[in-house]
A and B are shown apart, each in its own frame.
Chain A
């Protein structure tokens, strides 16, 4: 198992390099010139040329890229064109906020939606089940920023309970976390429901009942033990979607996180910050998907056996 983890970590390296490459390529191909952004009104042809020399923008693409990569792995993410500050410092401030937001939302989404999904599956024709389906639909189809504004309207404008922006106290995290969690609650509970319904129809559940296992235990030991696996894999892959949601959420609630860093950088054409924020988010996704894979292997003996034999994941 440890060998497998080591191997997977090693395999992650090309993915990380690939991600940085893709982002770098997009930024490199973009028309326009960084010097106009940096120099602004004091732009002169000579000054621009000197600046290009200084930033290494005159060099061939692959040289630029490998220089960037080399610095990246040393923790040097470049200097912001706008604030002239080291990007790594911006990241240091932003990253914990986003991590906190995502962590709270993820916990919230899982804690609420797994039990909901189970209950909806156990009583498939109940009002509760219908309600869950409707709720899931709202969560999936309503855009996050709109839900955010509606909640702000209700809780800070009408009721005056919570702040509409910032991240000063724990109370400020409530609305953004709910917004971010909502769409994932929807899809996780939906998935949990169908996974559980499927598990309850499996032959081994019938075997368990036929040997006299109590109904409660049939549901929570035999069916649930299997039904949890598909949602589990999905939760890991939602991290990406969640970071995407965080971009919007942080903007609406003015939370100084990675998403806002990226959006501001994009709007100001601050290439080093864009590069760094996108790359770091992508690396987080890669790490999470590795963790999910490992968790899956831990819970499912079939997958574990596959890994132990040195087989590859699909």
Chain B
């Protein structure tokens, strides 16, 4: 920082702040984030997908364009009328992909929120209470962690049926094991800091301390982990649907589209490639943003 030619003694506090603390913390984080070109690329891709998903009905009507079969137009190549061509039932692939974005983003984000709520409760309780409670909770989490994520999701969907609500719950529950560990270790890292001691000393009650002091200061790793979890869950949604255990045809779910297109893969590989690209781009974008956020929010994690 340059030393401005202001007499320090006569400078008011406000002037001092103005000269020496040019940037607020949020601005600083934003600057770090923006400096990471890949993260910005990720953010742009996410924005595009979100806009496409939001205005999917404006761009292409669900029932008539994305769902209704149109045998005359089967297997067409890309054209102005069909940006990405048509599938085996003459449906517009671009329309199906943007409607598919709705499903993937909705389930991806909501399932992470579900997992997050559970994980915050579990992880914060374990981390804050410590001792025997911590031991018991973490052993249960260890048990859950033994069941692979996708296997857990499949088991739950198998047991309760593959409605969208069940998928959200299944994928949400499948994220608990890893996410609650992150929350717990974040809580542990701030639990014994002075400001928490201070809150205890002035007699605040436990839930208030946990929520207003501890969780707030654990936000950084939790946000990073959630962003990465969205990427994983977007992939899981399509994997489940691909296996025939998630969203079923004729819904324009990406994994489901690939499963249907598989039969005609030899002649029309594009039908497999296009929805796959959509999954890949979405998942990659969330990964990039997650990495960018990690650098911006948590300077400790930076190299």
Contact between chain A and chain B defined by CB under 8 Å = yes
Residues of chain A touching chain B, judged by Cβ–Cβ distance below 8 Å, are: 14-15, 18-19, 22-23, 26-27, 29-31, 137-138, 140-146, 149-150, 152-153, 157, 194, 197-198, 201, 240-241, 243-245, 247-248, 251, 262-263, 266-267, 269, 274, 278, 281-283, 285-286, 289
Q: Nearest CB to that of B262 among chain A residues?
A: A149
Which residue of chain B is the closest to A275 with respect to CB atoms? Answer: B155
CB closest chain-A residue, reference B161 = A31
A278 in contact with B155 (CB, 8 Å) = yes
Contact (Cβ within 8 A) B159 A251: no
Say yes or no for B143: interface residue by CB 8 A criterion.
yes
A143-B239, A149-B262, A243-B148 in contact; A31/B160 too (CB < 8 A)?
Answer: yes
Q: Is B52 an interface residue (CB 8 A)?
A: no
Given contacts A137-B288, A243-B151, contact A153 B265 (CB under 8 A): yes
9 more A-B residue pairs beyond the given contacts A22-B147, A146-B276, A274-B155, with a C-beta to C-beta distance below 8 A:
A143-B238, A143-B279, A144-B239, A150-B273, A152-B265, A247-B150, A278-B147, A282-B147, A289-B146
Q: B11-19, B66-74, B111-119, B241-249: which lies at the A interface?
A: B241-249
* B118-155 contact mask (Cβ, 8 Å, vs A): 1 or 0: 00000000000000000000011011111111110011
Most buried by A among B231, B235, B262, B273: B235
B147 touches A14 (CB 8 A): no
> Contacts A146-B280, A150-B272 hold; do A267 and B235 have CB atoms under 8 A apart?
no
A sample of 5 inter-chain contacts (CB < 8 A) reads: A137-B284, A145-B242, A150-B272, A153-B272, A267-B245
Q: Give the residues in chain A near B140, CB-CB below 8 Å.
A: 18
Which residues does B use to contact A, with CB under 8 Å?
139-140, 142-151, 154-161, 231, 235, 238-239, 242-245, 255, 258, 262, 265-266, 269, 272-273, 276, 279-280, 283-284, 287-288, 303
CB-CB under 8 A from A251, the residues of chain B are 243
Residues B159 and A26 in contact, CB atoms below 8 Å apart: yes
For the complex, what is the distance from the CA of A137 to the CA of B290, rounded to whole Å? 12
Partner of B245, one of A19, A26, A144, A266: A266
Contact of A15 among B143, B148, B280, B284 (CB under 8 A): B143
Q: Is the CB of B151 within 8 A of A262?
A: yes
User: A143-B276, A266-B245 in contact; A281/B238 too (CB < 8 A)?
Assistant: no
Q: Which residues of B contact A289 (CB under 8 A)?
A: 146
Q: When the two chains form their complex, are residues B266 and A157 in contact, meaning their CB atoms are under 8 A apart?
A: yes
- A201 and B303 form a contact (CB under 8 A): yes
Question: Chain A's nearest CB lies how many Å from the CB of B122?
Answer: 15
Q: Find chain B residues with CB under 8 A from A243 CB.
A: 148, 151
A27, A138, A240 — most chain B CB neighbours (10 Å): A240
- Please tell me if the beta carbons of B280 and A143 are within 8 angstroms of each other in the complex: yes
Nearest B-chain residue to A183, judged by Cβ: B235
Bound-state Cα–Cα, A100 to B104, Å:
33
Cβ contact within 8 Å between B303 and A145: no
| CB-nearest residue of chain A to B272 | A149
- A247 x B154 contact (CB < 8 A): yes
Contact of A285 among B147, B158, B243 (CB under 8 A): B147
> In angstroms, how far is the closest chain B Cβ from the Cβ of A248?
6
Interfacial chain B residues near A281, Cβ < 8 Å: 147-148, 151
Q: A137-B287, A149-B258 are in contact. Are A266 and B147 (CB under 8 A)?
A: no
Closest B residue to A20 by beta carbon equals B143
Residues in chain B near residue A26, CB distance under 8 A: 155-156, 159
Q: Which residue of B lies closest to A284 (CB)?
A: B146
CB < 8 Å neighbour of A145 from B147, B161, B258: B258
Query: A18 to B139, alpha carbons, bound, how many Å?
Result: 9
Given contacts A141-B280, A149-B262, contact A23 B155 (CB under 8 A): yes
Contact A27:B144 (CB < 8 A) given known A150-B272, A153-B269, A248-B242: no
- Known: A23-B147, A146-B272, A248-B239. Is A29-B159 also a contact (CB below 8 A)? yes
Q: Which of A15, A149, A152, A283 contacts B142 (CB 8 A)?
A: A15
